[in-house]
């Protein structure tokens, strides 16, 4: 049998060794991931964004307006016959072009129909749609509510971030943007492959009560490859992924 002093010394050393081991183990992200996966906690790990403060994860909606003075550095992402030259955040240009090239290799020609919009442009579009509803006989209040289902108020639109883009097939450049477009070959391709390039279907059919926006099979948002794949695998919207469903 060990003498009491020896036993105390042995226990003290063991605790010290264990502490040092776990300290270094949990410093590494890979260690945390492996720890979670080995104990069946992979879903818990995978649900979390690696860095919620990333520029690509900025959240804007009716309750989360963009910071005052927000102005992304823009780069051209092509032009189209309907809306002319389109721009996005310069950091998104390369992954968007890679995605379009991959689609073309699969026989799908994609077009960035509408991308970045300034606050002024968003104001014009919002007011124009609202006036159309008023002309149809709606009251000011009814027209405002109906417009918000399809267009965010200025200052709360994803298009103002430079990270969102309305994508359609070339043949649908002038088509009405309606939910039935989800059946088009280009829409199917995007749902299957967009996350590989960092893009997510932003306004999902079964998440309208959370996003506050109707289902838009053409509206894609850049969040980065890792987060896009996590979001898509879980079937959640950006608000849920970030834990901001207020």
pLDDT tens for 162-173 read: 999 999 999 999
The mean pLDDT of 86-98, rounded to a whole number, is 98
Strand partners, 164: 221
How far is the CA of 156 from the CAs of 7, 123, 138, in angstroms? 65, 11, 24
- 8 A C-beta contact, residue 60 and residue 203: no
Q: What is the pLDDT of residue 3?
A: 55
Q: Do the beta carbons of residue 218 and residue 242 sit within 8 Å?
A: no
pTM of the prediction? 0.78
Least confident range of 21-25, 111-115, 119-123, 178-182: 21-25
Give the residue numbers annotated as catalytic, written as ranges: 216
**pLDDT tens-digit profile of 217-227?**
999 999 999 99
Cβ-contact 156, 62 below 8 angstroms: yes
Q: pLDDT category, 148, cuts 50, 70, 90?
A: confident
- Comparison of pLDDT for 62 and 174, the residue scoring more: 174
Task: Bin 99: left if φ > 0, else alpha if -120 < ψ < 50, else beta.
Answer: alpha
Percent of the chain with pLDDT over 70: 81
Computed over every residue of the chain, the mean pLDDT equals: 86
């Amino acid at each position: 049998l060990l003498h009491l002093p020896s036993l105390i010394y042995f226990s003290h050393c063991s605790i010290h060794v264990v502490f040092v081991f776990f300290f270094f183990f949990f410093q590494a992200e890979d260690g945390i991931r492996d720890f979670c996966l080995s104990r069946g906690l992979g879903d818990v790990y995978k649900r979390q964004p690696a860095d919620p403060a990333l520029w690509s994860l900025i959240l804007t909606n009716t309750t989360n307006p963009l910071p005052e003075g927000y102005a992304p550095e823009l780069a051209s992402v092509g032009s189209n016959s309907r809306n002319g030259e389109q721009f996005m955040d310069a950091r998104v240009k390369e992954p968007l072009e890679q995605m379009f090239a991959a689609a073309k290799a699969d026989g799908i020609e994609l077009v960035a129909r509408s991308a970045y919009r300034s606050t002024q442009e968003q104001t014009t579009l919002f007011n124009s749609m609202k006036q159309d509803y008023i002309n149809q006989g709606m009251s000011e209040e009814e027209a405002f509510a109906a417009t918000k289902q399809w267009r965010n108020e200025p200052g709360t639109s994803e298009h103002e971030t430079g990270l969102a883009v309305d994508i359609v097939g070339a043949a649908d450049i002038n088509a009405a943007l309606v939910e039935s477009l989800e059946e088009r070959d280009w829409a199917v391709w995007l749902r299957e492959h967009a996350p590989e390039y960092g893009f997510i279907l932003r306004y999902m059919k079964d998440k309208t009560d959370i996003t506050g926006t109707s289902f838009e099979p053409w509206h894609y948002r850049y969040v980065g490859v890792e987060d896009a794949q996590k979001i898509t695998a879980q079937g959640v919207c950006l608000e849920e992924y970030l834990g901001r469903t207020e």
